[in-house]
Amino acid sequence: MASKNTSFRWPRLSLFGMWIIILALLCGFGLVAGILVLINGLSITGLSDRVPWGVWITIDISAIGLGAGAFLLSAAVYLLGLKRYEPVARLAVFVGLLCYTSALLTLLLDIGRPDRFWHGWVYWNTHSVMWEIIMCITLYSAVLTIEFATIVADHPFFARWPWVGKLAHQAHKLMPVLAVVGACLSLLHQSSLGATYGIIKARPVWYKPTMPIMFIAQAIATSPLLVVALTIIVSRLRGRDLIKKELLWNVATFSGYALLVYAYIRFWDYLAMDYSYLPVRAESMRLLTEGTLAYSFWTCEVLLGILVPLVILFYHKLRHQKAALIVAGFLMAFALIVNRWNTNMVGLLVPTAYVSSVMPQASISYTPTWVEWATAGGILGYWLIAFTLGMRFLPIFPLTEISDKLEEAEPAKVEAVASSIPAIGQAGR
């Protein structure tokens, strides 16, 4: 027996293999929880009639917010003609597709009747913000899929079927159209996610016109910087700069100004809400600033999500540090998720007043159950595993085929590629 034990060897795993296994476990665990939800229904969640939306809606609306970079950078490249940013846009499209599919997967769990997911496409209530979101994210996911397909078609694997390349070439001509359609759809639904809350008159802490603006402003500030942070990490792992760092700095600067706009709107929005007593709204504000949400508001949202990234993005010495950009990108993404959670909870955890002058005393609480966290972990696992494999196997960054591209590409593109070559030389750091 003993000899058998000593002769047994664990297969040696690369770091990459271990990473994939961990993520696969996360996905598998989430899948089991997801199947349990489908079998048992939503009664195994912590949700209730008083708090009907919780962890999952947070994932839905934050994943879509974090995917906003796709439409922004596509618009920059194909509408404003900032061709230099095409590699960033390609990554942003990939990130966007992963975010939107994550949101769609979560939505499937969140609705009580997943078998009726298609009802929104067939039974139209054009008055409903939710209907508009369903239509927009479906159509926009289709746009992202087409944009993504043209990227995948660059893979040498498809060289054996010439028609794939031809089709992709034709589709590529459509890019400006897709960029316009995508931008329109995104501007609609990114803000509508905020309007979902903003139109609810029964919850005075939500009911305000700034809601859609704050949602889209935060998404516009956060998502491009997340793409930058991811680019830097992947570049580090690949051992070379995948995208010219001046481009990344420019995107970071853009994110900085967008964050400033968001912070400004947010500041006045919240200051204005604190100035007069309105039943229920005041209680909600107290919950956010002094109650159970105070830590996630002041520390996660304000300090880590706004102040620290502002310092990093506006202090030029920090802005040009890759590590600092990674920190800023992830802090802002984290803050966006926390913001969506706080926004949802601040309205739901305070009871609505049935008689306008009487503040109800009922206490409402929401504790997510393990299935909600497990499915959330599964979604994160799906995102990371797809991102990892995509970075490994998909031609997201076209620099690997520079030599082929140089011959067939048009002058403008040759220029762009040529100008990016020094960046490879400097890859050392």
Q: Toward other proteins, which CB reaches closer, 116 or 166?
A: 116
Q: Which of 18, 24, 35, 119 binds other proteins (CB under 8 A)?
A: 119
Q: Toward other proteins, which CB reaches closer, 6 or 49?
A: 49
Restricting to residues 339-398, which ones interact with other proteins according to CB under 8 A? Answer: 347-348, 352-356, 358
Instruction: Check residue 149 for interaction with other proteins (CB under 8 A).
Output: no
Nearest to 70 by CA among 153, 137, 165: 137
In the complex, least distance from residue 181 CB atom to other proteins, rounded to whole angstroms? 6
Q: Toward other proteins, which CB reaches closer, 196 or 218?
A: 196
Q: Which of 19, 29, 117, 270 binds other proteins (CB under 8 A)?
A: 117
In the complex, least distance from residue 344 CB atom to other proteins, rounded to whole angstroms? 9
Stretch that binds other proteins, among 194-202, 215-223, 268-276, 295-303 (CB under 8 A): 194-202
Number of residues that bind other proteins (CB under 8 A): 60
103, 63 in Cβ contact below 8 A? yes
Q: Which of 78, 215, 383, 397 binds other proteins (CB under 8 A)?
A: 78
Stretch that binds other proteins, among 195-203, 244-252, 370-378, 399-407 (CB under 8 A): 195-203
Residue 347 CA to residue 209 CA, distance in Å, equals: 15
Instruction: Check residue 120 for interaction with other proteins (CB under 8 A).
Output: yes
263, 236 in Cβ contact below 8 A? no
Residues contacting 27, CB < 8 A, separation 6+ = 378, 381, 382, 385
Q: Which of 1, 3, 6, 112 binds other proteins (CB under 8 A)?
A: 112
The amino acid present at 296, given as its one-letter code, is S
Q: Which of 19, 176, 261, 269 binds other proteins (CB under 8 A)?
A: 176
In the complex, least distance from residue 158 CB atom to other proteins, rounded to whole angstroms? 19
In the complex, least distance from residue 338 CB atom to other proteins, rounded to whole angstroms? 20
* Other beta carbons less than 10 A from residue 210's beta carbon: 17
366 backbone φψ class: left, alpha, beta (φ>0; ψ -120 to 50): beta
Stretch that binds other proteins, among 159-167, 197-205, 302-310, 372-380 (CB under 8 A): 197-205
Instruction: Check residue 23 for interaction with other proteins (CB under 8 A).
Output: no
Instruction: Check residue 408 for interaction with other proteins (CB under 8 A).
Output: no
Q: Which of 29, 50, 380, 427 binds other proteins (CB under 8 A)?
A: 50
Instruction: Check residue 202 for interaction with other proteins (CB under 8 A).
Output: yes
In the complex, least distance from residue 358 CB atom to other proteins, rounded to whole angstroms? 7
Structure tokens at 176: 């400006």
Residues contacting 391, CB < 8 A, separation 6+ = 234, 237
Residue 383 CA to residue 388 CA, distance in Å, equals: 9
Residue 294 CA to residue 8 CA, distance in Å, equals: 53
Sequence-separated contacts (24+) of 146-154 with Cβ below 8 Å: 146/171, 146/174, 146/178, 147/70, 147/74, 147/93, 147/175, 147/178, 147/182, 148/93, 148/94, 148/97, 150/175, 151/90, 151/93, 151/94, 151/394, 151/395, 151/396, 152/394, 152/395, 154/395, 154/398, 154/401
Residue 72 CA to residue 428 CA, distance in Å, equals: 30
DSSP string, 337-349: HHHHHHHHHHHHS
Stretch that binds other proteins, among 44-52, 226-234, 301-309, 317-325 (CB under 8 A): 44-52
Residues that bind other proteins (CB under 8 A): 41-43, 47-50, 52-53, 77-79, 81, 83, 86, 110-113, 116-117, 119-120, 122-131, 134, 172-173, 175-177, 180-181, 184, 196, 199-203, 347-348, 352-356, 358, 410-413
